[in-house]
Amino acid sequence: MRMLSLVLPATVLAAGCSEVPDVNLFTIEDDIELGMQLRAEINSDPATYPVVDEADAPQAYAHLRRMRDAVLDGGAVEHQDDFDWEIYLIHDDETLNAFAAPGGYIWVYSGLMRFLDQEDDLVGVLGHEIAHADQRHSTNQLSKAYGVSVLLGVVFGSEPGLIPELAAGLASLSFSRGDESEADDFSVDYLCGTDYAANGAAAFFEKLLADGGGQVPEFLSTHPSSDTRVMDINARAEELGCDTTPNPNVPAWQDVLGSLP
């Protein structure tokens, strides 16, 4: 399995804000506009992102949307009605990855789906990615990497040349320890109101540990460590009194995987 990576040019880093305020300076509308521009860039670059056309995999998209909707309908996603929450499938069986753009645009790699053992595990990962968009971590981290003024220039059209680089950065965006822990917590919170196991994301880390822990994808970072995150996710589910029993009322996971291209 391979992981995507990005090395930002020194000139871009030099243009970034060294002191990014804790308060997000972007509006919800800014998040959506930036996300739309990044979506257009990603979906028009099949060499880098082989996004599957829905017409070629209607069942796979139906499954992904069904899982996404279960998370959104759990009642805990703050911006459930503000973002469109579009989801896309990337046909790459060698890459363990998923990522979200500001404004709630989400991409899932087929390699990640094939790595997981059951639907609850993928829903846990989706909850984590939805949390990054819902809590607006992506805008914060992109602001720290590129600078608020530069990023706002992209939103308002004065820095269009940066869009391809921003799109590439999303696939390997490195979140802070606090953001990763918060996304883990919110994944539990979101799933707690569903029929899925609220600790689904923990199962993902458990499998990584069982495989030796050497394949931790960039999108979930390496901090905190996988074993710590398993404990923290399970503790969060217990603290909230959430059900951690896998959802029996879903299609067989092999049927879901069989719908992939």
Domain residue extents for the chain: 24-258
Q: What interhelical angle do 177-192 and 226-240 show, nearest 10?
A: 40
**% of the chain surpassing 90 pLDDT:** 67
The per-residue pLDDT for range 49-68, each reduced to its tens digit, is 999 999 999 999 999 999 99
- Predicted confidence at residue 200, as pLDDT, reads 96
Confidence of residue 112 (pLDDT cuts 50, 70, 90): very high
Mean pLDDT value across residues 115-136: 96
The per-residue pLDDT for range 173-222, each reduced to its tens digit, is 888 889 999 999 999 999 999 999 999 999 888 887 887 655 555 555 55
Mean pLDDT value across residues 23-31: 86
Mean pLDDT of the chain: 87
Which residue type sits at 168?
A
- Predicted confidence at residue 91, as pLDDT, reads 98
Mean pLDDT value across residues 121-133: 97
Given its phi and psi angles, is residue 241 left (phi above 0), alpha (psi -120 to 50 degrees) or beta?
left
Mean pLDDT value across residues 141-152: 88
Whether the pLDDT of residue 118 is over 90: the answer is yes
- Predicted confidence at residue 145, as pLDDT, reads 84
- Predicted confidence at residue 51, as pLDDT, reads 98
- Predicted confidence at residue 220, as pLDDT, reads 55
| Cα 27 from chain centre | 20
Helices (H), 44-176: 58-72, 110-115, 119-134, 137-146, 148-155, 163-170
- Predicted confidence at residue 144, as pLDDT, reads 86
CA-based radius of gyration for the chain: 17
Mean pLDDT value across residues 215-239: 77
Whether the pLDDT of residue 155 is over 60: the answer is yes
Confidence of residue 143 (pLDDT cuts 50, 70, 90): confident
Mean pLDDT value across residues 138-158: 89
* Beta bridge partners of residue 51, listed in sequence order: 90
Whole-structure pTM value: 0.88
